[in-house]
Amino acid sequence: MEEYQNGNEGSFNSEEAENVVKECIENIVGAEDYSQTQVNKWTAGIVERCLTQLVKQGKPYKYIVTCAVMQKTGAGLHTANSCYWDTTMDGSCTVRWENRTMYCVVSVFAVAVV
């Protein structure tokens, strides 16, 4: 029990980050239909907003936020990521979101600053 809690204290809280990301996505594309002219603005807005909210938490981390928005037309999409870092302190979280016309996949990577 103790060991588990100790591990958590210094490491990345992915649940918290997930909530931040979900809120940002809802805020920016929640009610929208896929639009080629707007999608550029949306992806930029989502990553910037997530980043701002994460940095506000004031934790000693460097962050990388990526976002992919894809129109729903039946195409297959697969994403993968691999990280070479300190597994005790660094972490990531990925959120998959969709509405009627598009998919949105956001990943947050947090790397501890020593």
Partner 1 sequence: MDEYQTEEETAFIVEDVSKVIKESVEVAIGGSTYQHSRVNQWSTSVVEQCLSQLSKMGKPFKYIVTCIIMQKNGAGLQTASACFWDNSTDGSCAVRWENKSMYCIVSVFGLAI
98 lies in the binding site for partner 1 (CB under 8 A): no
Q: How many other β-carbons are positioned within 10 Å of the β-carbon of residue 45?
A: 17
**Which residue, 20 or 65, is less far from partner 1 as judged by CB?**
65
Backbone angles phi, psi at 23, to 5 degrees: -65, -40
73 lies in the binding site for partner 1 (CB under 8 A): yes
**Which residue, 5 or 73, is less far from partner 1 as judged by CB?**
73
Which token pair is 21? Answer: 């990301």
48 lies in the binding site for partner 1 (CB under 8 A): yes
Q: Of 6-14, 15-23, 24-32, 49-57, which segment contacts partner 1 by CB under 8 A?
A: 49-57
Counted residue by residue, the chain has a size of 114
* Residue 9 identity: E
